[in-house]
Amino acid sequence: MQLRRLGRSDIEITPLGLGCWQFSGGEGLVGSFWSVVPQPEANAIVAAALAGGINWFDTAEVYGWGNSERSLAAALKAAGRANGDVIVATKWWPTLRTAGHLRRSIDQRLECLDGFGIDLYQIHQPASISSVKAQMNALADLVAAGRIRTAGVSNFGASRMRASHAALAARGLPLVSNQVKYSLLDRRIESNGVLQAAKELGITIIAYSPLAQGLLSGKFHDDPALVKTRPGPRKWMGGFRDRGLQRSRPVVDVVRDIASAHGATPSQVALAWVVQFHGDTVVAIPGATKARHAEEAAGALSLKLTPSDLARLDEVSRAFL
């Protein structure tokens, strides 16, 4: 399987990783988006991802305030993996915090990860009290101290991403990634300067919600009432209401048509487009609440879309730029 460099680092990752938001244990506003995933199921999900060739996992402090990190570490150990066998990414929650907290709280993150090092440490969103420069200097200090391997950001716009890159470059380090929302139903990074800046600076885009919270699977179009059985705010989101489903249906129809031609699932086609349309710049982290979801996502690693497939999907989804 062909690996990709994470930004301008020496870390190599598969085009798809596993997002671990769903391991939050139902705690907090963020964690309540998902049903509780029992540890045995989390073990099975991680094992399925590993069996499918996925070599990296993304979690965060705010995902259950350490629950996701602890669950991921336990699942990796249950699968027989040790530090260095996989790539682990996590994120610092900046709201109402200063850059100094990055240094003070790193031991907590490492404790939750229970023996697994932090290969990629990301600022979760641009909401810190401290400046971008102060945050990047704190990350650079952690790299210099050997507490983390590389630095990234999440949900940063183009100008803030460029400022982060410049601040780290002054310390002799690259900004390796920006984790943002991106899918066939949300292509705003192509029109707001984020993707262009990433290509110019050699920064990897990590796409979260690459299946648009499951919309691209088509299951909510087949059964609109299904969303009412799901926890969290999806039932109130516009994309899951009748008008939103009508707007995205043409995209889902083309995704299904291409999936049928390849003997693949719609979700696999949607994931393959995200990680193939822009070359090596974009990777993705689909989540999974069942082992079969992780197995299906990993199957997208072996799906090669044709230039015609990519162009059709581009054309039908341009309304979401």
Q: Which of 5-19, 113-127, 144-158, 222-236 has the lowest mean pLDDT?
A: 222-236
Is 63 annotated in the active site?
yes
User: How high is the pLDDT of residue 319?
Assistant: 96
Determine, yes or no, domain membership for 207: yes
Mean pLDDT of the chain: 95
Task: Grade residue 175 by pLDDT with cuts at 50, 70 and 90.
Answer: very high
State pLDDT tens for residues 83-99. 999 999 999 999 999 99
> Looking at the predicted structure, is the pLDDT value of residue 113 above 80?
yes
Give the mean pLDDT of 204-215: 97
Determine, yes or no, domain membership for 220: no
Domain that holds residue 125: 4-213+265-305
Q: Which of 12-21, 28-37, 69-78, 270-279 has the lowest mean pLDDT?
A: 28-37
State pLDDT tens for residues 259-311. 999 999 999 999 999 999 999 999 999 999 999 999 999 999 999 999 999 99
Determine, yes or no, domain membership for 314: no
Determine, yes or no, domain membership for 258: no
Determine, yes or no, domain membership for 40: yes
Number of domains in the chain: 1
Task: Grade residue 29 by pLDDT with cuts at 50, 70 and 90.
Answer: low
User: How high is the pLDDT of residue 220?
Assistant: 86
> Looking at the predicted structure, is the pLDDT value of residue 143 above 90?
yes
Determine, yes or no, domain membership for 227: no
We report the CATH number of the domain holding residue 73 as 3.20.20.100
User: How high is the pLDDT of residue 272?
Assistant: 98
Task: Grade residue 227 by pLDDT with cuts at 50, 70 and 90.
Answer: confident
Over pLDDT 70: what percentage of the chain? 99
User: How high is the pLDDT of residue 1?
Assistant: 63
Task: Grade residue 157 by pLDDT with cuts at 50, 70 and 90.
Answer: very high
Determine, yes or no, domain membership for 312: no
Which is catalytic among the residues 63, 121, 182, 208?
Answer: 63
User: Do 27 and 65 form a contact (C-beta atoms < 8 A)?
Assistant: yes
Determine, yes or no, domain membership for 293: yes
